[in-house]
Structure 1
Amino acid sequence: MVKHLIELVLVVRWTKSLEDKNRLFWFMHTAGWCGFALVHYLGSLLHDLRDIFTVILILNAYAGWLCSIPLRYIYRKIWNLPPIRIALWVILCSFITALFWQVIKNINYWEIYKHGYRPDELIYYARNTMFSFSIILSWSLLYFGTNYYQMLQKEKQNVLKANTVAHQAQLKMLRYQLNPHFLFNTLNAISTLILIEDNKTANGMVTKLSEFLRYSLDKDPMKKVTLESELQALKLYLDIEKVRFEERLQVNFNVGEHCENARVPSMILQPLAENAIKYAIAVQEEGGSINVNVSKFGNDLLIELSDDGPGAEIKNGNLYRENGVGLANTRERLLALYGNDFSLVVSNNTPKGVKVNIRMPFEVGTNV
């Protein structure tokens, strides 16, 4: 049992070490040059060279280890260049490094194995540079291949995380949509409309309720939808609530030009509206209003949802409300989908109430 636990701990530590890009580089870098020395040592056995040649191999491997380190920092600088320029930089840097390394290898061989031999012409210092170039170029390709693999793995992890968070968000939405209290209030309002023979309004409310539930069930939480579609779903939700609150609930939309085609996460606004209904409209006898403003600024989409309720306690951009999960859920989804390229700010509205501002990349096109 203890043996298995020790093995498990070692595996976990080994996995974490490989996930660390810096540790992985130094491990592979050192292992690669040790492998280079070992292969050449085994090859030297076939030629029956003197034992001193082993020292030369070690020095050459160490020189290659040192000479190739600067390439890492150069390649970091050129990482985001166009592919053709990256290829040219890699070839140039690999050749220069190989030339410098080959000179060191020749000097090591002449000084140690040939007892201070000196060539007649300087050109001989660069002899066999193309072989060294192939080694350094292989090192460069392995570096880029490893980093691209790590990048793809990280993207895969982000997608899996986004899927998990989004599906959790959908489950939270379904919990609210099928919440007995929500359905009771909605169906009770429909029943009241039928009793007073306002069948037209009752029929309209049933239609909106079914459309809203169908929208939330049909939309894949990982598929981004147009802002126009998202706002239509939000209006359906608010229309249902307006039957309950009647004139106590006022809703205003102000959508900037060309913003309707922007892609946003599905069901991203409803939790914010839910909070406003619960904490701003329902708690005031006179009700209140919800304002939705959307605009484009540069390459960003700006969304603001505000209310004129009694407000709330806000510290360091965090909203303190009992059992409040809407904002936390929204922030988690945005983080999973956009990384650090978003912001969600909660602040006090003027003259009263709370407003939530969301900034996300302005994206258009097909579902992603």
Structure 2
Amino acid sequence: MKQTPDATSSATPFSKLPGYWTFQLGGWLGFAAFSYVTLTIWYNPGELIPAIHTVLQALLGIAVSHPLRWVAKAVWDAKIWLRILVNGVAIIAASLAWTALRLGAFTWMSGEIISMDDWGGWIFGSFTVMASWAFCYHALKYYRQWIEQRELALEAQKSALEAQAIAQQESIRRLHAENLARESKLRSLKYQLNPHFFFNALNSVASLVQKDNKQGATEMLARIGAFLRASLDEDDALQHTLRDEIDILNQYLGIEKVRFGDRLNVEFNVDEDAQSVEIPNLLLQPLFENSIKHAVGRSLSPTLIRLDARRRGERLEIIVTDNGPGKPTASNGAAERSPGIGLHNVRQRLQSVYGDDFEFSVSQDRTSGFEVLIRLPCGAPGHRPFS
């Protein structure tokens, strides 16, 4: 997937914006420098007291303007007309207070009495400064809120894109699982149409007819037909319950039971609460097919294939074992019985449906036969097989 530049990289992160006191101290320091250059040096060049007064009135301005912040925050969420009224009154009060402090400090430092006629200019200057302070405070606060909301919107957009990407990945996984399911059905169909399978099945029917066992022959043909109908079912669902899977499996085993007779013995040990858990379609048949081919087919002694299934918390545990000839070796010393195409296909389907949230293991030795262990999620959120 092509990567796009992060939209947040072009904006100032909200957490990196300067704080209130940075603006407060920096602004009044700038005011003091501006006043000194434009007024003090112009009217009182080289005089110490006016220079000190310029710095002192900036310090007094910090103290007087700070309560304006409290007022602004107190009415920030009020109606606009009330905010304008309250902030306006606060600005006027701050202007009068700062004017009185500036004049008092100047008289105390210089001993000079300021004429009442000059108070208007001092008050106007104070009002201009305090109104400018309030304007800058509100502008910066609105800007910070805009930055914060923009970051939240970008985060929401990023989350939406991530969710969309996850949905696309899930869609791809679903398509992959559907393809594997269709391939599994085709492989199952191929096996059933395999001449060797039909030869054995029809040979068993012919043997029953020769023995004048019409009921057995009829039952055998019915089992073959039922199994074909179940395998060729047009339902494209990728999953069904373990109970449904066992029903189809029994139809397959019924055919093989006629072929192998007492040599094939099957035992199911399935807990009741496990039967309703949904699993991928045609999951168990390849496991039993593997045991029939390598255990029952290679031994003249009775062979037991056992299915154990139980729920362990939110996991379904399935174990298929047989007590066949174990792990025989060929003349060249290589193991004759090894996981084949069927077991590989089972693992591949589990990987497609559950990702990495499953367990699949195969164990065998020379004495205890063959065992396949599968652990799956029991339909937990985010781990259900696709349907």
Distance 1:366 1:100, change over 3 A: closer
User: Which residue of the partner structure matches residue 238 of structure 1?
Assistant: 253
Cα distance in structure 2, aligned partners of 1:149 and 1:366: 20
Q: Give the secondary-structure state (helix, strand or coil) at the position aligned to 1:140.
A: helix
Superimposed CA distance per residue, residues 217-253 of structure 1 (whole angstroms, 9 cap, x where no aligned partner): 1164543112111111111111111111111111111
Deviation at 1:350, TM superposition (A): 9.2
Residue 340 of structure 2 aligns with which residue? 324
Query: Which residue in 1 is equivalent to 2:238?
Result: 223
Among 185, 206, 209, the alignment partner of 1:170 is 185
| Corresponding residue for residue 339 of structure 1 | 355
SS of equivalent to 2:379: coil
Task: Map residues 21-36 of structure 1 onto 2, 5 A cutoff.
Answer: 24=3, 27-29=4-6, 33-34=9-10
Alpha-carbon separation, structure 1, partners of 2:223 and 2:164: 48
Cα distance, 1:130–1:367 mapped onto 2, change above 3 Å: closer
Shift of 1:331: 0.5
- Does the CA contact (< 8 Å) of 1:311 and 1:354 recur in 2? yes
Structure-2 residue corresponding to 1:9:
none
Q: Partner of 1:50 in structure 2?
A: none
The alignment partner of 1:197 has SS state of coil
Contact kept, 8 Å, 2:174 with 2:386, in 1: the verdict is no
Q: How does 1:178-197 map to 2 (within 5 A)?
A: 178-197=193-212
Which residue identity does 1:162 align to in structure 2?
A: A
How far apart in 1 are the matches of 2:297 and 2:327? 14
The match for 1:258 among 273, 281, 288 is 273
Q: Counterpart of 1:208?
A: 223
Residue 257 of structure 1: how far off its partner (Å): 2.4
SS state at 1:128 partner: helix
**Counterparts of 2:144 and 2:340, CA distance in 1:** 67
Query: Root-mean-square deviation (CA), in Å?
Result: 3.2
**Match of residue 156, structure 1, among 152, 166, 171:** 171
1:271 equivalent in alignment to 2:286: yes
The alpha-carbon deviation at position 313 of structure 1 amounts to 7.8
Aligned residues: 275
| Residue of structure 1 equivalent to 2:364 | 348
Within a 5 Å distance, the mapping from 1:79-98 to structure 2 comes to: 98=14
| C-alpha separation in 1, matches of 2:273 and 2:9 | 56
Alpha-carbon distance change, 139 to 102 in structure 1, aligned in 2, over 3 angstroms: farther
Q: CA deviation at 1:149?
A: 0.9
Asked whether 1:101 is paired with 2:3, we answer: no
TM-score between both structures, scaled by the size of structure 1? 0.67
Secondary structure of 2:267 counterpart: strand
Structure 1 residues 183 and 32, CA gap change in structure 2 (3 angstroms): same
Q: Does the CA-based 8 Å contact 1:259-1:296 persist in structure 2? A: yes
* Equivalent-residue separation in structure 1 for 2:192 and 2:201 (angstroms): 11
Q: CA deviation at 1:348?
A: 2.6
Name the aligned partner's letter for residue 195 of structure 1: Q
Note if 1:288 corresponds to 2:303.
yes
Whole-angstrom distance in 1 between the partners of 2:352 and 2:336 = 23
Q: Cα 1:305–1:132, aligned 2, differ >3 Å: closer, same or farther?
A: same
State the SS of the aligned residue for 2:212: coil
The structure having more radius of gyration, on CA atoms, is: 2
CA distance in 2, matches of 1:162, 1:307: 29
Instruction: Tell me if structure 2 keeps the 8 A contact 1:249–1:281.
Output: yes
1:49-107 superposed Cα distances (whole Å, 9 cap, x missing partner):
xxxxxxxxxxxx4xx2xx3xxxxxxxxxxxxxxxxxxxxxxxxxxxxxx3653649x96
1:193–1:202: 8 Å Cα contact kept in structure 2?
yes
Segments of structure 2 that go 5 or more residues without pairing to the other structure are: 35-57, 70-136, 330-334
Instruction: Structure 1 unaligned segments of length 5 or more: list them.
Output: 1-14, 19-23, 35-60, 68-97
